[in-house]
Amino acid sequence: MNDYATLTIGEKTLKLPVIIGTEGEKAVDIRGLRQETGFITYDPGFANTGSCKSAITFMDGEKGILRYRGIPIEQLAEESSFVETSYLVINGKLPTPEELTRTSVMLNDHSLVHEDMQIFYQNFPRASHPMGILSAMVNALRSFYPELMNTDEGFEITFLRLLSKVRTLAAMSYKISRGHKVIYPRPDYTYCANFLHMMFDSPVKPYVLDRDLVKALNVFWILHADHEQNCSTAAVRTVGSGRANIYASLSAGIAALWGPLHGGANQKVIEMLTDIHEKGLRVSDLVARAKDKKDPYRLMGFGHRVYKTYDPRAKIMKQVCDTVLSKMEIKDPLLDIAKQLEEIALSDSYFIDHNLYPNVDFYSGILLRAMGIPLNMFTVMFAIGRLPGWIAQWKENLDDPDQKITRPRQIYTGQNQADYLPMALRKKS
C-alpha cells in the first residue's frame, strides 16, 4: 500500500505520493502540483528538493555517513585504489581482477593526448587560471574524439579516455605554465603514480616515487570521487539533461567546481592559514570574530551544507595528512595553526551548537601543499577526483526514463505590464 502526504490549499486537498529510498529517505512527489493547483514550491538552492533518484552515493549528514554503491568510504579509503573506486562508481560494482587489469591497461593506452592540444595551451594568457583552461580543454576533447557509440563498449572507451586524458592534461598544464618539458606517462606506473611522475619528473632531476605519497593521492581522489547532488554534479546533470555530449557536460561541472564555495574551498583554507601566519594573527582573536554575528569574517574549512556532524572524509584526510607530514618530516607552521583551529572547533560550544566541524577541505589543502602541488592547482586536483562521479551521474541521468530536461520555475517579482515609452518622452537620468 502506497503512503501519501496530504496538502490542503484553500478548499482543495491533494494526496501526494511519498517515495521512500532504500535507506529510508522520504520524499513527497510533487510532480503534479502545478498542473492540479497552479502552485509551485519555493526552495532557494534546492536544499529540500530531490531532483532525481540515484543508486550511486548515499549520504547521511546527521550521522556522518558516506557510501559509494553501498560501500562505506572508510573501507574504500583503506583498501581500494582510485582506479578500482572509479570502476565501482561508474559501473555499479567492484571489478574482478581481470576487469581491474583491463581497466588499468586501457587507462594507460589512452593517456596520451593529441599533440595539437599543446598549441591550445600556448595560446592561453599566462595569467589564466588552470580551472578555466581545464574546462576549455575538456570541451575541446570532443573535437578530437567525436564518436560516442551507444554501446557498453563505446561508453567504456569514452569514460576511460576522459579519466586518463584529463589527468594528463592537468599535469601538462602545470609543466607548460612553468616553461618545462612535458612529461608523458609510463606504462609501468599506476594511475596515481603516473600523475606524480608527469607533474614532478624532469630531465635533470628524476622524480623518485614515494609509496606513501602515492597512497595519499589515491585516498585524496577516492574521498572526492562523488558526493551526491552537489553544485557541480547538478551542473553536469543539468547540461546533460539537454542531451549535450559528455565533454560539454563535464566542462560545465568543472566550471561549477571552480567556485570558492565549492571546489575552491581547499585553496581558500590555505590562503586563510597563510594570512594568519604571515600577519602574525592570533587564532583566538579570529575565532572570536567568526563567532560575532556582526562581523562578516568567516573561517574557511568549517561546517558543511549537508554534514551536521564531523565530515567522515575529514577524519580520513587528517590521518593521511599526519602520516605524510611525519614521513616527510615537514614542520609546517600552517598545520600548527590548523590544529589550533581544529582543537577550538571540537571543544567550543558555539562551533558544536552550530555544527561547524572541520570539513575535508580543511585538511586536504595541507596535504596537497605537502605533496608539492601548487596552490592554483588545488581545485584541478579536486576535479580529477570528481570525474568518476560526474561520469556516473551523467550516464545515470541519460538512462533514467523519468528524467526530463531541467527547467526550474521562478517567482516573478519584477514590474507589472508597462507600455513601451518612446525615446522623446523619456526623462534624462
Q: Are 365 and 202 in contact (CB under 8 A)?
A: no
Torsions phi, psi for 283 (to 5 deg): -60, -40
> To the nearest 10°, the Cα dihedral for 59, 64, 68, 72?
-150
Whole-angstrom CA distances from 29 to 22, 45, 119, 409 are 16, 18, 50, 16
Query: Backbone dihedral region of 410: left (phi > 0), alpha (psi from -120 to 50 degrees) or beta?
Result: beta
**Which residue in this structure is represented by grid cell 565501482?**
88
C-alpha cell read off for 314: 575529514
Q: Are 118 and 182 in contact (CB under 8 A)?
A: yes
CA distance 25 to 15: 19
Residue 188 annotated among the catalytic residues of the structure: no
Residue 304 annotated among the catalytic residues of the structure: yes
Q: Are 363 and 205 in contact (CB under 8 A)?
A: no
Whole-angstrom CA distances from 256 to 120, 279, 281 are 22, 32, 32
**Which residue in this structure is represented by grid cell 550516464?**
395
Q: 201, 224, 304, 311: which is the annotated catalytic residue? A: 304
Burial 346-380 (b: 16+ CB within 10 A, else e): eeeeebeeeebbbbbbbbbbbbbbbbebeeebbbb
Q: Are 413 and 253 in contact (CB under 8 A)?
A: no
CA distance 301 to 338: 10
Q: Are 114 and 168 in contact (CB under 8 A)?
A: no
Q: Are 61 and 308 in contact (CB under 8 A)?
A: yes
Q: C-alpha 145: how far from its chain's center?
A: 24
C-alpha cell read off for 339: 590544529
Q: What is the DSSP annotation of 256-317?
A: HHTSTTTTTHHHHHHHHHHHHHHHT--HHHHHHHHH-TT-----TTB--SS-SS--HHHHHH
Q: How many CA atoms lie within 13 A of 171 on its CB side?
A: 24
Q: 201, 226, 311, 361: which is the annotated catalytic residue? A: 361
CA distance 244 to 190: 32
Catalytic residue IDs: 304, 361
